[in-house]
């Protein structure tokens, strides 16, 4: 069953409006259009810019493009019938640190840590950052009349997030064409660490020594992979997920508390997806 427990979620500022009257306010003031991918990758929300200005220390015109995080209930997005301006609250709002550029590029061939004689790494042909709570696909429930539905309510929102993120990523690749041959795939899933893994009082932000280092509970990794690969097919990244013949590191699940120490682990729930087409000999190209 879906949980209404708040989760640390990424908010992207799409645009700023210096003078806008929101339905919640009596005077004009700065507002921003934001996207919460876990709520809807296709909808923007108009909201008061004041908390974003306070947290970032930036001017209104500098907010577009910045990413923030807040503790949100992912299962209860704002209703679609509010057209006079959203009066939204952003508990635990903070500014996301930038992802280090070196995490998203291939290792330099002169890296002293590379084994002697090692070949230069081939960069992925496509990198996708999908932000949202990964949902597992595979377990089904019989609802009568011979009909089966996915047991997890998180599957469809996650597939939507991956598909739209992949479409946006491939549209940024000049000369992109759908992958038609064998493919190697890397998936770095970031899961929210449960509140119970943290201490209390002064240690509320400190992970307990007894907490597991990696997610070792549901959702199963293979079911997350299945949902993600199906979404890549929907996005026409490749014709069929049967083309995925190789998994490459990094591949697996980590907690968001590993952000900043483990490459490609995000600062909130989601997944970094990387793909390499393989040549006739099965090597990256």
The number of folded domains in the chain is 2
Torsion, Cα of 264, 270, 274, 275 (10° steps): 170
Round to whole Å and give the CA distance between 260 and 268.
12
Residue 14 confidence (pLDDT): 86
Check residue 74 and give its pLDDT.
Answer: 75
Q: Specify which residues 32 forms β-bridges with.
A: 16, 47
- pLDDT given for residue 28 in this prediction: 67
Domain boundary, last residue among 95, 110, 141: 95
Q: Please check whether residue 53 lies inside any domain of the structure.
A: yes
pTM score: 0.58
Same domain, 268 and 182: yes
Q: Are residues 195 and 243 in the same domain?
A: yes
Task: Per residue of the chain (285 residues), give pLDDT as tens.
Answer: 344 567 778 888 888 888 776 655 656 678 888 888 777 766 788 888 889 999 988 888 888 888 888 888 877 777 766 555 677 889 989 888 766 555 555 444 444 444 444 444 688 999 999 999 999 986 555 445 555 444 457 788 999 999 999 999 998 888 899 999 999 999 999 999 998 998 888 888 888 889 899 998 888 999 999 999 999 999 999 999 899 999 999 999 999 999 888 989 998 999 999 999 997 555 555
Number of CB atoms found within 10 A of residue 49's CB: 24
Same domain (yes/no): 75, 129:
no
Has residue 273 been placed in a domain? Answer: yes
Instruction: For residue 26, give both structure tokens.
Output: 């009596």
Looking up residue 182, the CATH number of its domain turns out to be 3.30.1330.70
State whether 145 and 263 are in the same domain: yes
91 lies in a domain?
yes
In this structure, is residue 85 part of a structural domain?
yes
- Do 249 and 189 fall within a single domain? yes
Question: Same structural domain for residues 16 and 68?
Answer: yes
Residue 272 maps to a domain: yes
Owner of token pair 């699940």: 253
Are residues 127 and 267 located together in one domain of the fold?
yes
Q: Are residues 91 and 127 in the same domain?
A: no
Does the residue 139 lie in any domain? yes
- Does 229 share its domain with 181? yes
Task: Return d(Cα 180, Cα 113) in angstroms, integer.
Answer: 34
pLDDT of residue 1: 37
Whether residue 196 sits in one domain with residue 65: no
Asked if the structure places residue 44 within a domain, the reply is yes
Q: Are residues 38 and 83 in the same domain?
A: yes
Are 131 and 266 a contacting pair, CB within 8 Å? yes
264 touches 258 (CB < 8 A) = no
∠ CA 265-271-276, rounded to 5°: 100
Q: Using N-to-C axis directions, what is the helix angle for 155-171 and 221-234, rounded to 10°?
A: 50
Q: Is residue 104 part of a domain?
A: no
Whole domain around residue 30: which residue ranges? Answer: 7-95
- Closest residue by Cα to residue 260 from 76, 103, 121, 136: 103
If asked whether residues 222 and 146 sit together in one domain, one would say yes
């Amino acid at each position: 069953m879906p949980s209404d427990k708040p989760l640390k979620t990424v908010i992207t500022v799409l645009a700023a409006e210096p003078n806008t009257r929101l339905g919640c306010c009596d005077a004009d003031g700065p507002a921003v259009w934001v996207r919460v991918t876990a709520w809807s990758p296709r909808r923007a929300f108009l909201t008061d810019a004041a908390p974003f200005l306070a947290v970032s220390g930036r001017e209104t015109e500098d907010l577009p493009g910045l990413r923030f995080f807040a503790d949100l209930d992912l299962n209860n997005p704002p209703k679609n019938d509010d057209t006079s301006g959203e009066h939204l609250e952003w508990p635990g709002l903070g500014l996301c640190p930038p992802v280090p550029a070196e995490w998203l590029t291939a290792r330099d061939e002169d890296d002293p840590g590379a084994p002697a004689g090692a070949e230069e790494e081939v960069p992925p042909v496509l990198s996708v950052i999908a932000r949202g709570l990964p949902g597992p696909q595979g377990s089904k429930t019989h609802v009568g009349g011979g009909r089966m539905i996915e047991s997890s309510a998180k599957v469809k929102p996650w597939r939507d997030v991956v598909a739209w993120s992949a479409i946006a990523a491939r549209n940024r690749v000049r000369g992109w064409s759908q992958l038609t041959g064998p493919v190697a795939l890397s998936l770095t899933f970031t899961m929210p660490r449960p509140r119970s893994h943290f201490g209390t009082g002064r240690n509320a932000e400190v992970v307990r020594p007894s907490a597991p280092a990696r997610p070792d509970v549901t959702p199963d990794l293979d079911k997350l992979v299945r949902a993600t690969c199906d979404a890549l097919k929907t996005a026409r990244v490749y014709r069929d997920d049967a083309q995925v013949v190789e998994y490459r590191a990094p591949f697996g699940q980590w907690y968001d508390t590993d952000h900043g120490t483990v490459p490609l682990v995000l600062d909130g729930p989601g997944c970094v997806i990387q793909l390499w087409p393989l040549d006739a000999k099965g090597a990256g190209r």
